Amino acid sequence: MENRIDRIKKQLHSSSYKLTPQREATVRVLLEHEEDHLSAEDVYLLVKEKSPEIGLATVYRTLELLTELKIIDKINFGDGVSRYDLRKEGAAHFHHHLVCIECGAVAEIEDDLLEDVEEIVERDWKFKIMDHRLTFHGICVKCQQKKEDQEQSE
Ligand SMILES: [Zn+2]
Ligand SMILES: [Zn+2]
Ligand SMILES: [Zn+2]
């Protein structure tokens, strides 16, 4: 955790920003909830638990700054809510998401898996790919199991 904070601090410094206590409180919440995909309000409520003096506007501005510096990514799973997600360290491209349409569970795929597709796009469309967002909508293994169990008991 401290190492990640140190590296994020350096990323901010290299763009002439400081890791102020308010920014650090926000970064800590994001690191502590790395598996979750928190909305700005979620982040704010968690920051407030530990640092009640920090306002929603400050948290918003910090999230915007971290997004701009590509430390976090803003994502939307189609429910109209912007969520924030830490970028995996050393990853050239953003990771993919599997969103369950039954229970809302979100899983992550860290492997890019798109090398072949990227090659075709760059070759046939003469398009230089910088990044991508890939969200699969479907039914998670738990919900599939639940359905099976229900069908068997009917
Ligand atoms: Zn994610
Ligand atoms: Zn890629
Ligand atoms: Zn599910």
Quote the pLDDT of residue 28: 96
C-alpha 15/C-alpha 91 separation (Å) is: 20
Helices 56-68, 21-32: axis angle to 10 degrees equals: 70
Residues 69 and 143 in one domain: no
Which ligand has its closest atom nearest to the C-alpha of 75? 1
Q: Tell how far the Cα of 6 is from the centroid of ligand 3, in angstroms.
A: 36
Number of domains in the chain: 2
pLDDT digits (tens, 9 = 90+) for 58-92: 999 999 999 999 899 999 998 899 999 998 888 88
pLDDT digits (tens, 9 = 90+) for 75-134: 999 889 999 999 888 888 999 999 999 999 999 999 999 999 999 999 999 999 999 999
* CATH of residue 115: 3.30.1490.190
CA 58 vs. chain centroid, Å, equals 19
Quote the pLDDT of residue 14: 95
Quote the pLDDT of residue 92: 87
Please list, in sequence order, all residues whose beta carbon lies within 8 angstroms of the beta carbon of residue 8, skipping any fewer than 6 positions away.
19, 27, 71
Residues 30 and 59 in one domain: yes
Domain boundary (87, 119, 137) is at 87
How far CA 75 is from CA of 10, 19, 126, in Å, comes to 24, 23, 26
pLDDT digits (tens, 9 = 90+) for 4-38: 999 999 999 999 999 999 999 999 999 999 989 99
Quote the pLDDT of residue 1: 83
Domain boundary (71, 87, 103) is at 87
Which ligand has its closest atom nearest to the C-alpha of 37? 1
Burial of 66 (0-12, 13-18, 19+ CB in 10 A): buried
Residues 61 and 101 in one domain: no
Domain boundary (87, 106, 134) is at 87
Residues 6 and 81 in one domain: yes
Residues 52 and 97 in one domain: no
Residues 26 and 80 in one domain: yes
Residues 82 and 54 in one domain: yes
Which ligand has its closest atom nearest to the C-alpha of 144? 3
